[in-house]
Chains A and B, each alone.
Chain A
């Protein structure tokens, strides 16, 4: 059992040519960079006119659609679209709805009519349901939900009208940047290493022990409080540290990359994964494996 000491070091420059060949065709700009001096273009989000020159106001990549130029920022709050899976935390209980924090500019809304209440899908919402809202979801609870629609001011309207969504029980939440999550067909994965993962599009990733065979009628609001075994906890801790390592090196997150990272990290102890040099090593091996997979 040793105590580690570390001197501050200058972060190494990551050369773009070696990693992420996909970025070759895209332009990266920083705030203040002149995009074009041509006045024929319409300016979109993330740009402003500075003496007839179109300048970027955020750091990101330039997107051009015919005559419209906009800059999509790399580090931003979650901008939800219909169909996204999100993991959020309930912040307020209001009349007939809950306010959920999903790392976006405005709190998302979960209407009482958009949740599954026990008693069947087509049950009518009564006045008692309003009063017992707090029994289902309280402030501080974590939920997984899907974006149903987007309000005009940008706030998201969520729904949990499926058995796979609902209140989350025992597990670990990892908060990362939304731009690192790859859009896929499904965001719920049961990893072969022995844990399950929900990759929320808003950057919140939920790790939890794979649920055993349990009755499906419960679904949604039944949280099992049975103690989780030590082996499961170790797998989840290792996954969490791997996610932090991938997030620190800006690797796109999806089930394959998380799995490869887990396998590359097996030779190390779980707590060692958080050291910068070990992180680098693991992420390099993961990138190699991913490149082999593609090519």
Chain B
């Protein structure tokens, strides 16, 4: 099923917003969405949340005969799957262009960078080596699959433990997890993909789906010309972001290790309760508050006498409320005149409402924030 095409108005709006360096969800041009990394009960299972994009990576291993021209190197195999669960635009079984591109990119990122020591995966040269298989499943598609996939893959590889192997002469014994502790893979560094989208008007990082439709990908055939300094700028930004993300991955790995050691609960099942009733909850977002007081005082001094306002909040119906009734609107539109009797009615309703609900504490804290809002607006 194809995605519904964007209308011209929406397209123009997005492009104009980019020109003014504004984004739909309020981020700065080089900001990532919030990244959450969690691990499963098995070693090598990792979930990554990049905003609403969800990806799961699972690492497994098995003993096989190595390639003829490289007898003492292990093998790594990557596989990305896009299922219809992620988005109705994906179809099961069909090799879409996007899938091929993602697979190739992930392979290039992790295999050609030689981040994993393949020689340590050798057991018996020429006969038995470990083949590490990384399966990446996309659970929800909300843009920027490449970055999320690379983070998930490398985090899973760092988390994975392979069974210990003992060699006695010709015999090779593979010890199970109960007999001997499994060994982590030897990983030299963490390569992470950072994608940029280039538009005529500017450039962005980590775009959600509507912007992916509008933007131009430089690797496609009808590419656009990039300036040298743009490329340098991108690589500088990318290096900063990558170090941040690497820190995040390391912290997540540490937490998981600690949880396992202390015998605390860990794994996917534990991360579920946090998301049970979060359909209506938004994440805590940091707000710049350092100079708010000075700014507020300045505005209050410069402002005129505040207009006659109805004490807020006003309960118009059970479950709804209004704040700031009677304020001047600054949109430049003409507003209808409020009637005198209305204010009296509203006051009576408010008292009745407060008695009925009995949640006086909640409303009073709202009143305080509402007054603060009134002062600053």
Would A6 and B7 be within 8 Å (CB), given that A1-B324, A1-B329, A1-B335 are in contact? no
Chain B, residue nearest A89 (CB): B5
Q: DSSP majority for the B interface?
A: loop
Are A3 and B5 neighbours in the complex by a CB distance under 8 Å?
Answer: no
Q: How far is the CB of B259 from chain A (nearest CB, A)?
A: 34
Chain B residue at minimum C-beta to C-beta distance from A91 = B5
Contact residue among B5, B8, B320, B324 (Cβ-Cβ distance under 8 Å from A6)? B320
Q: Do the beta carbons of A2 and B323 come within 8 Å of each other?
A: yes
Q: Which of B8, B280, B324, B336 contacts A3 (CB 8 A)?
A: B324
Q: Give the size category of A's interface with B.
A: 20 to 34
- A101-B4, A140-B5 are contacts. A6–B319 as well, Cβ < 8 Å? yes
Q: Determine whether A9 belongs to the interface, using a CB cutoff of 8 Å to chain B.
A: yes
Q: Which residues of B lie under 8 Å from residue A1 when comparing CB positions?
A: 324, 327-329, 331, 335
Chain A residue at minimal CB-CB distance from B321:
A5
Q: In the complex, how many angstroms separate the beta carbon of B289 from the nearest chain A beta carbon?
A: 21
Q: How far is the CA of A26 from the CA of B4 in the complex (A)?
A: 33
A4 adjacent to chain B (CB < 8 Å): yes
- Which B residues lie within 8 Å of A5 (CB)? 313, 320-323
Complex Cα spacing A91 to B3, Å? 11
- Nearest B residue to A106 via CB reads B2
In angstroms, Cα B328 to Cα A287, docked, is 38
Query: CA separation between A142 and B336, bound complex, in Å?
Result: 36
Is B111 interfacial (CB 8 A cutoff)? no
Q: Is B11 part of the binding interface, using a Cβ–Cβ cutoff of 8 Å?
A: yes
Q: Counting CB contacts under 8 A, is A8 at the interface?
A: yes
A93 within 8 A of B: no
Tell me, rounded to whole Å, the shortest Cβ–Cβ distance linking A205 to chain B. Answer: 14
B317 contact from A8, A89, A173, A277, Cβ within 8 A? A277
Known contacts A1-B328, A8-B280: A101-B323 contact under CB 8 Å? no
A2 to B307: give the CA distance in the assembly, Å: 13
* Bound Cα distance A142, B8 (Å): 9
Cα A142 to Cα B313 with chains together (Å): 44
CB of B62 within 8 Å of the partner chain: no
Residues in A with CB closer than 8 Å to B327 are 1-2
Residue in chain A with minimal CB distance to B314:
A2
The answer to whether A140 and B319 touch across the interface, beta carbons within 8 angstroms, is: no
Size range of the chain B interface in the assembly: 20 to 34
Q: Which residues of A contact B4 (CB under 8 A)?
A: 101
Chain B's nearest CB lies how many Å from the CB of A155?
13
Contacts between chains A and B (CB distance < 8 A), count: 52
Q: Which residues of A contact B329 (CB under 8 A)?
A: 1
Task: Chain B residues near A101: list those with CB within 8 A.
Answer: 2, 4-5
Cα separation A1 to B335 with both chains bound (whole Å): 8
Which residues of B are found within 8 Å of A6, using beta-carbon distances?
319-321
Kindly state whether residue A22 has any CB partner on chain B within 8 Å. no
Q: Give the one of A5, A6, A101, A142 with max B CB within 10 A.
A: A5
A173 touches B7 (CB 8 A): yes
Closest to B327 in A: A1
CA separation between A4 and B8, bound complex, in Å? Answer: 30
A-side contacts of B247, CB under 8 Å? none
CB distance from A9 to the nearest CB of B (A): 5
Q: Encode B1-35 as 1/0 by CB contact (under 8 A) with A.
A: 01011111001000000000000000000000000
The answer to whether B325 has its CB under 8 Å from any CB of chain A is yes
Check A140 against B11 for contact (C-beta < 8 Å).
Answer: yes
Q: Which of B11, B314, B319, B322 contacts A9 (CB 8 A)?
A: B319
Chain B residue nearest to A172 (CB atoms) is B9
Most buried by B among A7, A140, A141, A142: A140
The digit string for A19-52, where 1 denotes a CB below 8 A from any CB of B, is 0000000000000000000000000000000000
Shortest Cβ distance from B328 into A: residue:
A1
Given the contacts A89-B5, A89-B7, A173-B7, A7 and B328 also touching, CB distance less than 8 Å: no
In the complex the two chains form, what is the Cα distance from A1 to B329 in whole Å?
A: 5
Contact A4 B320, beta carbon cutoff 8 Å: yes
* Contact present for B324 and A2 (CB under 8 Å): yes
For A133-148 the 0/1 string (1 means CB < 8 A from B) is 0000001111000000
What 1/0 flags go to A148-159 for Cβ under 8 Å of B? 000000000000
- A223 nearest CB across to chain B (Å): 12
User: Which of A3, A142, A275 has the most chain B CB within a 10 Å cutoff?
Assistant: A3
How far is it, in angstroms, between the C-alpha of A269 and the C-alpha of B6 when the chains are bound? 29
Give the chain A neighbours of B7 by CB distance below 8 A. 89, 140, 142, 173
Q: Is the CB of A7 within 8 A of B324?
A: no
Within 8 Å CB of B313, what residues of A? 5
Contact string, A189-230, partner B, CB cutoff 8 A, digits 1/0? Answer: 000000000000000000000000000000000000000000
Ranked nearest first, the 7 interchain pairs of A and B with the lowest CB-CB distance are: A1-B329, A140-B8, A7-B319, A2-B325, A2-B322, A5-B321, A6-B320
Pull 29 A–B residue pairs with CB atoms less than 8 Å apart, ordered by A: A1-B324, A1-B327, A1-B328, A1-B335, A2-B314, A2-B326, A2-B327, A4-B322, A5-B313, A5-B321, A5-B322, A5-B323, A6-B320, A6-B321, A7-B319, A7-B320, A89-B5, A89-B7, A101-B2, A101-B5, A139-B5, A140-B5, A140-B6, A140-B8, A140-B11, A142-B7, A173-B7, A269-B336, A275-B320
With A3-B324, A173-B7 already in contact, 7 other A-B pairs whose C-beta atoms are closer than 8 Å: A1-B329, A1-B331, A4-B322, A6-B321, A89-B5, A140-B11, A275-B320
